[in-house]
Amino acid sequence: MPSKRYKSSVPTEELNKNINEFKKKIQLSEGQKKAQYEECEEERKKNNEKIQVLKNDIRELYRIKRQESTCVDALPDTKKDEKIAVLKRKKYREALDILDMKLIDTKKKTDLIRHDIKQKRIKLNDLFSKWSDMRSMITSTLDKDLNTAKTLSVLENRSHQIEMSRMEASHVTRKYRSIRNRLLEDSVVFESTLNKLEKTIKIQQCEIQRLEV
């Protein structure tokens, strides 16, 4: 049997009207969606601008804090060391400048002391050499003429003078070594303090860089 063709009960004119209304609703929905997207995009841009402003403000606050804050937290808490106590009252940059100057001054003094010790050692070796020569001369003279008391007395006096000079040179050497050791200890303290300050500043710089991302 031939199939029956389905006929719509809705008139063609009314059907076209419904289709046109449906198309208008779709177009209106697309327009609203586009407007909403543009509005959201504008809001997103505004929010990004606000975030960037806040990051700049935070970075500026960190910079101001670093310039105005002292080294209280960066340095160890000690009441015995007056040098550390003075640095704790200074700002970071001032403390670094002071430590740099003290470190340079300490190294200069250490170099001078090393030079002086070297010169004293040369002088001491020279005195030892003269003393050794004099002692050999005394022994040789005694072997040749044991009865010359005057010559022996003169040589013994010279030997005594040389021995006194040697003792004085030894005393000077010990004194310079003591001064050098104290300066080296101060140098270690200043270098350790300088490293702590530089580490603190690096941490703050890393934090600022993280906020800038």
Kindly list the domain boundaries of the chain, sorted by start residue.
17-69, 122-212
Contact 84, 193 (CB under 8 A): yes
The position carrying tokens 């600022």 is 208
CA–CA separation, 144 and 208 (whole Å): 89
Residue 28: CB atoms within 10 A of its CB come to 10
The whole-number pLDDT of residue 112 equals 83
Count Cβ atoms within 10 A of the Cβ of residue 198 and give its class: 0-12 exposed, 13-18 middle, 19 or more buried.
middle
The whole-number pLDDT of residue 77 equals 54
CA–CA separation, 53 and 73 (whole Å): 29
The whole-number pLDDT of residue 110 equals 77
Count Cβ atoms within 10 A of the Cβ of residue 99 and give its class: 0-12 exposed, 13-18 middle, 19 or more buried.
buried
Beta bridge partners of 70: 91
Below-50 pLDDT ranges, the chain: 1-8
State the chain's mean pLDDT as an integer: 69
| pLDDT per position as a tens digit, 49-103 | 877 777 776 676 566 556 555 555 555 555 555 666 566 666 667 767 777 787 7
